[in-house]
Amino acid sequence: MKKAETKIVTIIGKDSVVEGDFKAAGSVRIDGVIEGNVVVSGNLVVGATGKINGNVEAASAMIGGVIEGNVNAAQKTELTSTARVIGDIKTMLIVIDEKAVFQGKCDMNQEESKTKKRPTREKSRAGRKSAKDALREALKEAEAEVMETEEVGSLAEEPFMAADAVKGESTEA
């Protein structure tokens, strides 16, 4: 994973309004309003006065303003205490400060789940067989315990008879 540029090369000022989609190479800071989708190849910083009405795609995003749309930040997404995101977030790492507002779903660690290998059919079958064997073994152990308990119960009555026999007394009436 390539680390995104940290030097901000484009700034959308506080009183600026962009109507339509916005694309930029490098890192961008937005303190104004963008009415459209935003695609940034580096880091995206949305200041406390910044607002985006559209989807966002960036290497990483630090959000202090408002985004009404989905956020896709490959590396990291951070919502500061003044952030308000209404939409889904897809990222590898997320930090949400106290008092930040986030309404949507978060999808994390997508690269890891794509690279995880599923067990092969043979391994899956072998796992099932060993699970069946373990179950059979557990049932046998449970049966053995029941048998042992029954034997102990019958032996518990026998000591009284043996004690009487030692004294020379008959237990039969």
The pLDDT confidence band at residue 168, using thresholds 50, 70 and 90, is low
Please report the pLDDT score of residue 1 as a whole number: 44
Please report the pLDDT score of residue 113 as a whole number: 47
CA angle 52, 107, 98 (to 5 degrees): 65
Number of domains in the chain: 2
Q: Are residues 142 and 101 in the same domain?
A: no
End-to-end CA distance of the chain: 91
| Mean local confidence (pLDDT), 90-98 | 95
In a domain, 30, yes or no: yes
92-95 contacts at long range (C-beta below 8 A, 24 or more positions apart)? 92/1
Q: Are residues 30 and 91 in the same domain?
A: yes
What pLDDT digit, counting tens, does each position of 39-83 carry? 999 999 999 999 999 999 999 999 999 999 999 999 999 999 999
Looking at the DSSP bridge assignments, the partners of residue 102 are 85
pTM of the model: 0.62
Q: Which ranges in 58-115 belong to alpha helices (H)?
A: 110-115
Task: Give dist(CA 92, CA 23) in Å, integer.
Answer: 22
In a domain, 43, yes or no: yes
Model confidence at 114: pLDDT above 60: no
- List Cβ neighbours of 84 (8 Å cut-off, separation of 6 or more): 65, 66, 67, 100, 101
Model confidence at 150: pLDDT above 90: no
What pLDDT digit, counting tens, does each position of 2-29 carry? 454 578 899 999 999 999 999 999 999 9
In a domain, 3, yes or no: no
Q: Are residues 107 and 133 in the same domain?
A: no
